[in-house]
Amino acid sequence: MKIIAVSSFKGGTAKTSTSLHIGASLCKHHQKKVLLIDFDAQANLTTGLGFDPDEQDSMAPVLQGEKAIEEVILPTCIPGMDIIPADTWLERVEVSGSLAADRYSHERLKEILRPLDYDYIFIDTPPSLCWLTESSLIAAHYSLVCATPEFYSVKGLQRLSLFINNISERHGLKVLGVALSFWNPRGKSNDAFLSVTEQTFPGKLLQAKVRRDIAVSEATIYGKPIFETAPKSRAALDYCALTKEILQRI
C-alpha cells in the first residue's frame, strides 16, 4: 500500500481535482483499489463526489478515538474507489479532545492508516502548512505537489519545498512529482515557470500536464469524475497520462 499526500501551499492549484481524477483513473484504467481522504475542512473533494459534508462523519472522530476508521469510509460511484469525507470539525481538530494533550498527535494518522487494505491512499491536504498537512506528510510515503503556471504558485512551491524537506529528514517522505494544472502550451511565462519549478524540485516536474478544461468544473456539478461525464475531453486524456507517469515513478 502506498500513501500519497497531495499538497500545495495555495488554493486554486487543482489539488482536489488531481486527487480525485488520479484516484479514479487508477481504479477505472488500472484496476487498483483506492481510498481518497478529504483532509481539508473546505470539503471540496467530498462535494466533488456528490456527498454532503454536513451529513457525513469525517476523519475527526477517528483521530479523537471516538470511531473506527471503517465506520467513516464510504463507497463512491467508481467501483474500487472509497472516500473518507471532510467536514468543518477538521479545521481545529488538533486542539480539541484527546489530541490536544498528545505530544505526538502528528503521528496518529499514520498509525490509523497502517492496517488498511488498499493499493493507494490519496490524502487531499489543506492549501496551508498546518497540523492537517503535517500529519498527512508524516503518514505518507510520497508527496505529490500541485502547482499552476503563475507567480504566487511559484512562491508557494518554494515554501512548501522547505516544509517537505524538513519532514522528509525525519520520516522518509519522498516527493513523487510536481503536477501542473491549468496549463496553456502557448503561455508566455512557461519557460520561466518551468525553470523555477525545476530549481525548487530538481528532477520532479511531471511531463504530463493538465490543460484548462471547463469539463472538469462541469463534472463537479454532477458529483462525478470527468471520466464519467466527459471521458474524451482533453482534461480526461491529460489525467490518464498523468496517472501513467505517476505509476512509472512509483
Average pLDDT over residues 8-22: 85
Which residues lie closer than 8 Å to 180 by C-beta, 6 or more apart? 147, 148, 149, 197, 205, 206, 209, 210
Greatest CA separation for the chain: 52
Q: Mean of the per-residue pLDDT values for the chain? A: 90
Grid coordinates representing 183? 496549463
Average pLDDT over residues 77-92: 92
| Confidence at residue 44, expressed as pLDDT on a 0 to 100 scale | 92
pTM (global) more than 0.85: yes
**SS3 of 205, please?**
strand
| Confidence at residue 88, expressed as pLDDT on a 0 to 100 scale | 86
Question: DSSP character for 65?
Answer: T
| Confidence at residue 69, expressed as pLDDT on a 0 to 100 scale | 96
Distance CA 66, CA 153 (A): 38
Position 153 pLDDT exceeds 90? no
- Position 11 confidence tier, pLDDT thresholds 50, 70, 90: low
Q: What percent of the chain has pLDDT over 90?
A: 59
| Confidence at residue 168, expressed as pLDDT on a 0 to 100 scale | 87
Average pLDDT over residues 62-79: 94
Fold of 2-249: Rossmann fold (3.40.50)
| Confidence at residue 12, expressed as pLDDT on a 0 to 100 scale | 67
| Confidence at residue 10, expressed as pLDDT on a 0 to 100 scale | 67
> Nearest to residue 105, comparing CAs of 68, 70, 46, 60?
60
Q: Which amino acid is at 50?
A: G
Residue with the larger pLDDT of the pair 170 and 118:
118
| Confidence at residue 36, expressed as pLDDT on a 0 to 100 scale | 98
Grid coordinates representing 62? 477517528
pLDDT tens sequence across 166-215? 898 888 899 999 999 888 888 777 888 888 888 889 999 999 999 888 98
Distance CA 222, CA 74 (A): 18
E strand segments, 34-173: 34-38, 74-75, 81-84, 120-124, 142-147
Average pLDDT over residues 222-229: 91
Domain parsing of the chain, residue ranges:
2-249
| Confidence at residue 14, expressed as pLDDT on a 0 to 100 scale | 84
- Could you write out the DSSP letters of every residue in 27-40? HHHH---EEEEE-S
Judge whether 247 and 144 are in contact, CB under 8 Å. no
Cα distances from 37 to residues 49, 128, 142, 210, in angstroms, run 12, 17, 15, 22
Position 90 pLDDT exceeds 90? no
